[in-house]
Amino acid sequence: MRNYIELTKPRITWLILMSTAVGYYFGARGGSWSWLGIVHTLFGTMLIASGTAALNQYYEREGDSKMRRTQARPLPSGRLAPGRALIFAIAISAIGFAELTFFVNTLTGLLGLFTLLSYLFVYTPLKKRSFHSTTIGAMPGAMPPLIGFAAARGTITTEAWILFLILFLWQFPHFYAIAWMYREDYQRAGIRMLPVIDDGGEATAWHILLFATVLIPISLLPKFWLMTGNIYLLGALALGGVFLYSSIRAALSRTRQHARQVLLASVVYLPVLYGLMMLDRPA
């Protein structure tokens, strides 16, 4: 059972559910909040996200066997048979889609299905062909707030797209930092992440800096769209400043240590920003 749970990447699923809950919270503005609704939404999202992660590990099991940080995963280590992993992944994905479609609404189910299909059949194959896969992968990666919002509101509005855009931009410094730290691993697996083809690290560093910079004004949009108040505004500025500072240091030094600091800053940034959003939402 531990092997099957590991296949679902629970730490990543937790982040997905957090983003989905924030989307639901803002979509429920005006009295559409339902405890049963959010339980169905989070449960269905958990299943389809877990299934996507498991299907991705099935697809990439050969590449994972070549990377030190992924060799111990259930499939490359031989702890789990590929056929069983595939059946498990398809089953929980299908149940998750059904949960969202029949117990929430059709739009939410379709958004979940789009996330799974675009991640598996567009982003994953593209990783071995172009570093632009990061941009493509950031799209399904930013879908959870839209799923949560659609679950509560039954439609997608500008507020939902603002949440989508914040998560979309946040992913670039986060994943470029990871790819920078493990570029030798990615190179062995034939994955063409930007740090793999960027020998000196200059392009990677400036991409991190660019997206951390653009994220600051975009993160302020909830305040100016009357989704949040001044406490959020000040907090978002402070968080963005810390994130940008770590990115500047990485751009100037281009070391693995500073890439790790960008990663840590990103891990702190998102949940704290979400917390400020939810605490400072106008009545």
Q: Which two tokens stand for residue 271?
A: 């949940």
The model's pTM is 0.94
Q: What burial letters (b/e) apply to 253-276, b meaning 16+ CB within 10 Å?
A: ebeeebbbbbbebbeebbeebbeb
Query: Average pLDDT for residues 137-144, to the nearest whole number?
Result: 96
Average per-residue pLDDT for the chain: 93
For residue 198, what are the CA distances in angstroms to 176, 189, 233, 255? 11, 16, 36, 13
Per-residue pLDDT, 163: 98
For residue 278, what are the CA distances in angstroms to 59, 87, 128, 232, 282? 37, 38, 39, 9, 9
8-state DSSP, 104: T
Residue-wise pLDDT tens digits, 77-121: 999 999 999 999 999 999 999 999 999 999 999 999 999 999 999
Q: Which residues contact 59 (CB under 8 A, 6 or more apart)?
A: 120, 124
Query: Average pLDDT for residues 157-180, to the nearest whole number?
Result: 96
Longest dimension (CA), the chain: 53
Per-residue pLDDT, 190: 85
* Block residue for tokens 């559910």: 17
pLDDT score of 130 more than 70: yes
First to last CA, the chain: 44
Per-residue pLDDT, 189: 82
Residue-wise pLDDT tens digits, 10-23: 989 999 999 999 99
Per-residue pLDDT, 123: 94
Number of H helices, E strands in the chain: 16, 0
Residue-wise pLDDT tens digits, 191-211: 888 888 887 778 899 999 999
CA angle in degrees (0–180, nearest 5) for 74-78-79: 55
